[in-house]
Amino acid sequence: MFNKFVWDTYLKAGGNDTVSVFENIIDGEYSTDVGIRYAEFIRNLHSNYCPCRRIVEETYSALRHLVGDTDDGFIAQACYAVAELGEVECEINEILQVFKKGIAGDEPFLAKDLFAELSGGIEYYSTFLWIYYPDKFVPYYFKHNFNVLNLIADEFDIDLPSLPKKKDYEGRFNYYGNICKVLHNFRIKNNMSPYELCAFLYDFAPKYIGGVDSYIINDLPEPKSAYFIGGDAKDAFNTATPDEITAWQANPDTRAGDMIVMYRRTPVSSVESVWRSVSIGFNDPFFYYYRCTYISNCNLIRQVHLKELQQDVVFKDVPIVRKNMQGINGIELLPSQYNHLMDMAGADVARLQYSAIDGDESFSTEKDVENKLVKHLIEKLGYSEDDYVQQLRIRVGNHNFKLIPDFVINPVVSQGHYSASFLIEAKLSIPTLSFLEEVKIQARSYAKQLGAKYSVIASKEKVWVMSSKDDYSKEIFSATWHELNDSDSFYELFRLLGKGK
């Protein structure tokens, strides 16, 4: 929630200087020298919430050349088209239509191509539109970081419009205008100038939510899944530096700690490195490939060539191998496939823990328990996907964050304050009472952080429920999954955890 006292304190403590920089860009002459100074200013702010050096430098380069880039046909066409509107009073959507026609010119551009142009240069184009229409547009400096804008929106009760679908390129182009409308409504509601809105978005709010530390996980949990990603030597975000963090197209189900296997298309056609996801996967409407995560901890391994995979007894019939690794980004590997691949490469990296189970049961990983049992249970208890969060990040202390990796039901999050109805800690198997007690301790620490009424543990064998009344120590309910098929048994659980109870 927006707190005017905290905001006013920020302004008096140096924030007004930040506001002045944005104001001078609008009211002054945007010369080459001014552009360079502005680009350096944004680079300093940007690095507080974007961990990828290449993204920060890409934005810096785009803004540095905002003046004098008339040699670029698309840029010239789009900018001239908007400039010719002059003082005509237009709505955001009307301006964007002129802007799109300016990009296309006389060419028969598809919506996909127009969006690709906006996506590639959104920091450039949005700054241009903002300079011309500061009361309507907002410069967009969250490239590959829509997750940060989401965190800001959640913290300050900004109701962002629903995301368009990945292939709705027209909707994704227009989404920028919709974002601008929402942000200016927030500005007007809180008596901000357009320049104060920019200071809020790119200085105050990112620092308030914790900057990079609000979503980059340093203390990674054990991996639950493994995914392929693909690239080539020309990829701008490619790096072999182990501690460097970079953004990449990913599976939307990626969780922090998961193993990320890089397949290099050219020039080698080989698996050549293994990474860890250091953020939760997220959808980004302005990232051309839509689905994104941040990865790091690059570990170069012995290259495993495509021909080796095609001849290997485990991989030769895997669909993505049969398709010559086309469309590889985000393809999930089974635990047995991933572990076998790491054995082929002789890689000194984490393996996925799983058990091979005979018969009809299909629970071989912790993720199976989550997807096939826990999510179904949550739904039967009356909750939708909007009612819970996986891998909730909570602040502990001034600069530290803690990851609550499984399911948090009805989370309420504001700066420094967290609450939830209950949480579910999932494990593949809990075969002994001693291990159950260990998991109780782990779940208890999470439940206390959230002030949850109940702590729930779920494994492939059973569900256990503990209450805050005795510090989450004794089971007030337990049942096997088979027993939960009995209506009376399930009703007993529903009385404790059901939605509205």
Domain stops at, among 188, 211, 234: 211
Task: Determine how many CB atoms are found less than 10 A away from the CB of residue 401.
Answer: 17
Question: Is residue 361 situated within a structural domain?
Answer: no
At 260, is the secondary structure helix, strand, or coil? strand
Q: What is the largest CA-CA distance in the chain?
A: 75
- What's the pLDDT at 458? 95
Task: Note whether 316 and 409 are same-domain residues.
Answer: no
**CATH code where residue 492 lies:** 3.90.1570
Task: Note whether 271 and 340 are same-domain residues.
Answer: yes
Residue in the block written with tokens 């823990």: 353
The pair phi, psi for residue 262, each rounded to 5°, is: -90, 120
Task: Note whether 96 and 15 are same-domain residues.
Answer: yes
At 96, is the secondary structure helix, strand, or coil? helix
At 126, is the secondary structure helix, strand, or coil? helix
Question: Is residue 220 situated within a structural domain?
Answer: no
3-state SS record for 219-239 = CCCCCCCEEEEEECCCCCCCC
Task: Note whether 180 and 31 are same-domain residues.
Answer: yes
Question: Is residue 30 situated within a structural domain?
Answer: yes
Task: Note whether 70 and 155 are same-domain residues.
Answer: yes
Question: Is residue 125 situated within a structural domain?
Answer: yes
Tokens of 125: 């184009």
Residue 87, Cβ density class (10 Å: 0-12 exposed, 13-18 middle, ≥19 buried):
exposed
Question: Is residue 353 situated within a structural domain?
Answer: no
Question: Is residue 9 situated within a structural domain?
Answer: yes
Task: Note whether 241 and 186 are same-domain residues.
Answer: no
Task: Note whether 467 and 318 are same-domain residues.
Answer: no
Domain stops at, among 211, 246, 268: 211
- In whole angstroms, give the CA distance from residue 459 to residue 401: 27
Task: Note whether 307 and 382 are same-domain residues.
Answer: no
- What's the pLDDT at 87? 57
Residue 47, Cβ density class (10 Å: 0-12 exposed, 13-18 middle, ≥19 buried):
middle
Question: Is residue 173 situated within a structural domain?
Answer: yes
pTM exceeds cut of 0.85: no
Task: Note whether 143 and 289 are same-domain residues.
Answer: no
- In whole angstroms, give the CA distance from residue 275 to residue 437: 33
Residue 20, domain extent: 4-211
**CATH code where residue 313 lies:** 3.10.590
Closest CA to 72 of 62, 83, 84: 62
Question: Is residue 351 situated within a structural domain?
Answer: no
Task: Note whether 9 and 67 are same-domain residues.
Answer: yes
Task: Note whether 249 and 127 are same-domain residues.
Answer: no
Contact 412, 418 (CB under 8 A): yes
Low-confidence stretches of the chain (pLDDT < 70) are 28-32, 67-89, 104-107, 236, 354-362, 396-400, 414-416, 501
Task: Note whether 32 and 140 are same-domain residues.
Answer: yes
Q: How far, CA to CA in Å, does 331 sit from each of 249, 261, 262, 465?
A: 11, 10, 11, 35
Contact 141, 42 (CB under 8 A): yes
The pair phi, psi for residue 462, each rounded to 5°, is: -165, 170
Tokens of 357: 């189970």
**Beta pairing partners, 404:** 392
pLDDT tens digits for 31-54?
667 778 899 999 999 999 999 999
Domain stops at, among 148, 177, 211: 211
Number of domains forming the structure of the chain: 3
- What's the pLDDT at 393? 81
- In whole angstroms, give the CA distance from residue 256 to residue 277: 5
Geometric angle at alpha carbon 247, from 58 and 332, rounded to 5°: 155
